[in-house]
Structure 1
């Protein structure tokens, strides 16, 4: 797809968004009563869930399929609106002490778990102490300085920190701080608890069935706490998450109306423009702001040939990121210079070491590092493992394989399912290079630093430090940013952090990703905040009956 087509596609999306804003304004002014639509209840939404999750609660695994699914079953303490501002959820209100070391939540009364048991402060305390601090891939560092949690009554939680933790407020939704039911988890092997795959939450939809390899079914929670003008949410009766591994089949299902909702750029990127032009579909780019995604090449620095920073620099110089973005990602990205994406303007730094496309420099660095070409022209033979989330990641690995071949590095591309990939990369660390994307979120401490913090190496926790990078300076900067009560100081620390990691280069930022969702044109209100992709579909509704295929077939 050429640049003009990309601009056309993005412009069409903006037109769709502007049209919605215009209709809302006309209705509010009373200029066209016929344009106003009331939410209607009922209907089954069929959504694409790809790849199939390994587990159904993001309190224990923050992979994107799990996050997209489980936000419909579980609530967080807060939600985020379209301006990153906090909205009440399980917590109706909260206060931060003047020294930023005490955070108090006043919980919503009358909330029940899906099994009928009451939700209380005991659930929050237990989850924080046993899950967020010990298991959750991102929250270990965010809640690392929690010294105690008080529950003076069933509806109050008081969290005490040894140092200020300003990043906490950026990660309290159902994805960042998912609360688990204490009565079903206490005293069990948390990681192997059966309720991980038959979840019991407080959210708008209730888990009903998981047919492995086929679909997962949720049904409306009739006792959900959220009401709008006296009408209980959610509006939909049911959500069926279909597992459709083939990208072409996903596009066909959307086009035929068999599926009405598909996130995370679900179709071949070359098909996006064609689908966006169909009258029964629309392309949505909102709802991804909170996750700040970036694609990177992780380098296992414990491998002898990658211990030398010159070899890692050579890898970076060998890859043409502009061509990579155009050829592999069809322009749905932006070449990255740092793990902190440019849309996080407050934290992002351009003042970092950069590694422009320069194959000759790559070859010179490899020579200097002692990796000379052999008689067959090969310097090194390695493997590359890619995130098994679709063809885009496979094609990314193939592109990198060709790029490295030109400088004398032979790469074998390995394919595997998600459990094998996460075990190989984050558990056994039996890999050379890995193509993966992380969500950076609204604060680098929430999503970026986990890829560099040495304390998470070798703990078999997916989506953390797989490179094996150990830097006393980087760790110190991370921990200082965690403890600082000054946002100005934190910004300065994160800019120094970017300088450090881009100098050491344990991983190579490739692209800032621009995800999109394809959905039915008659599906309304799917986006209510910057974190929508990891938020529930409790506000979604159909303005006419959708065509729904039988998910069991």
Structure 2
């Protein structure tokens, strides 16, 4: 009986309390469920923060937020288009597009699932490129129209440049978590995942010189450095360190001839000189167009080292009977190859000196230098006779001019390919430059910490 009374008392007490505190109990239950759901939702991110590694990478060079290297920009955002390995345009923010008015107008249709790092959906009015002679107009939230003053077939590669709002806000798989500046130059940049993917955090540290970057690696500030032009002898013996040699086929080293020079305008002399260039690297270059490009051809005339042929041609030139001499202008990193070329030309009978420069000289006879390869095969600014500031050889060839003019306005890729194959062959025959080799760089990486 006593047990019954106690049970009844407990029952009535609970009922009274539930009536009295109904709202509080309901609120507590709701909050409890909300907390459980919240913890469940954020647990993967908390776990990611504690478990994911941090990639600490050293970069050589001085950069502002607006001039970050393209590989870093592409981690933070992307453009209306992206670029395939062969240089063709692929969808980016735009899922599709049409070119009309003979290539002077492009209509881009935007994806509906692209979100700024702020959480706001990307709409057409957010997007704008500062491209000369091109205007952009948002037709609606999902459509943007670009109007060009003149047809320009490489245009789709221009709009592959990643788009940002203020403070490097993009819509890529990474977002900026922390940035430190010294003046206007970035010295530290931390990127964290902007998606549900458990991506490693990336920390970039920037150094003015390769020596500073290597010292930072030795001190443990960074675990990886990319793009080193040389490796100090002691580094390969460092514990838990691997060194990878990388061939950069988006850049080449070339020997440029000044065709306005009275001596070098003679093609036979240029032919004699290029046959006397001792190229020992296996990564030869035969064209100013990237070998991965849809427009590349390996059927252009190739000049292999041949001192007999060089001597034969040299003996037929006017210079073989006078005392003219050449100076190879170059930069410190190419001094060794310049010396090899000078030695070979001296052996040929062409007196040759070397001069190390800090910037590209305004006047020269022979220049040994590097050139970045554009994504699109358009070579107009480098070789067209009207481009006096960028056509550094002074090449003037009516047929090459016409090919370059047509190549940048035609819309059909197969037609452009035929044009650029013809261009590459004619350029090799005209010989304003000898394309030598693709430069190598080194990546230093710590295998364990």
The two structures have a TM-score, normalised by structure 1, of 0.58
Structure 1 residue 210 and structure 2 residue 169: aligned? no
Change (3 A) 1:128 1:112: farther
Give the aligned partner of residue 279 of structure 1.
240
Change (3 A) 1:484 1:79: closer
Contact 2:326 2:352 in 1 (8 A): yes
> In angstroms, what is the RMSD of aligned CA positions?
4.3
CA distance in 1 between partners of 2:208 and 2:52 (Å): 26
Structure 1 residue 319 and structure 2 residue 284: aligned? no
Structure 1 residue 227 and structure 2 residue 194: aligned? yes
Give the aligned partner of residue 423 of structure 2.
497
Contact 2:384 2:396 in 1 (8 A): yes
Give 1:211 deviation, angstroms: 6.5
Give the aligned partner of residue 94 of structure 1.
96
Aligned to 1:498, the other structure's residue is in SS state helix
Give 1:320 deviation, angstroms: 1.6
Contact 2:286 2:302 in 1 (8 A): yes
Aligned to 2:415, the other structure's residue is in SS state helix
Structure 1 residue 452 and structure 2 residue 383: aligned? yes
Structure 1 residue 431 and structure 2 residue 364: aligned? yes
Give the aligned partner of residue 158 of structure 1.
145
Which residues in structure 2 correspond to 1:462-541 (within 5 Å)? 464-521=390-447
CA distance in 1 between partners of 2:214 and 2:409 (Å): 47
Structure 1 residue 362 and structure 2 residue 310: aligned? yes
Give 1:476 deviation, angstroms: 1.3
Matching residue within 340, 354, 364 for 1:412: 354
Deviation track 1:318-342 (CA, whole Å, cap 9, x = no partner) reads 2021x2x2xxxxxxx5122222344
Structure 1 residue 397 and structure 2 residue 323: aligned? no
Contact 2:100 2:106 in 1 (8 A): no
Which residues in structure 2 correspond to 1:9-408 (within 5 Å)? 40=51, 43=54, 45-50=56-61, 52=62, 57-58=66-67, 67=70, 75-80=78-83, 91-97=93-99, 101=103, 102-105=105-108, 106=110, 111=116, 125=128, 127-129=130-132, 148-153=135-140, 156-161=143-148, 165-173=152-160, 177=161, 201-203=168-170, 204-205=175-176, 208-210=180-182, 216-220=186-190, 227-229=194-196, 235-236=201-202, 238-246=203-211, 254=217, 257-268=220-231, 274=236, 279-281=240-242, 283=244, 285=246, 292-321=250-279, 323=280, 325=281, 334-344=283-293, 346-372=294-320, 379-386=324-331, 391=333, 393-407=334-348, 408=350
Deviation track 1:33-82 (CA, whole Å, cap 9, x = no partner) reads xxxx97855747241315x56x7745xxxxxx955666677754444577
Change (3 A) 1:278 1:449: farther
Change (3 A) 1:341 1:409: farther
Contact 1:57 1:67 in 2 (8 A): no
Give 1:316 deviation, angstroms: 1.0
Deviation track 1:291-322 (CA, whole Å, cap 9, x = no partner) reads 6332211222223322222232232112021x
Give 1:256 deviation, angstroms: 6.0
Give the aligned partner of residue 551 of structure 1.
none
Change (3 A) 1:456 1:278: farther
Aligned to 2:201, the other structure's residue is in SS state coil
Change (3 A) 1:218 1:501: same
Deviation track 1:345-397 (CA, whole Å, cap 9, x = no partner) reads x43323323322233443454454422365xxx531424122x6xx3x23222
The two structures have a TM-score, normalised by structure 2, of 0.70
Q: Which has the higher contact order (CA 8 A, sep 6+)?
A: 1
Larger Rg: 2
Change (3 A) 1:67 1:482: same
CA distance in 1 between partners of 2:392 and 2:123 (Å): 36
Contact 1:284 1:518 in 2 (8 A): no
CA distance in 2 between partners of 1:414 and 1:241 (Å): 27
Change (3 A) 1:210 1:314: farther
CA distance in 1 between partners of 2:312 and 2:125 (Å): 60
Aligned to 2:408, the other structure's residue is in SS state helix
Count of matched residue pairs = 393
Change (3 A) 1:355 1:373: same
CA distance in 1 between partners of 2:208 and 2:183 (Å): 10
> Which sections of structure 2, spanning at least 5 residues, go unmatched?
1-46
Aligned to 2:95, the other structure's residue is in SS state strand
Give the aligned partner of residue 18 of structure 1.
none
Change (3 A) 1:350 1:370: same
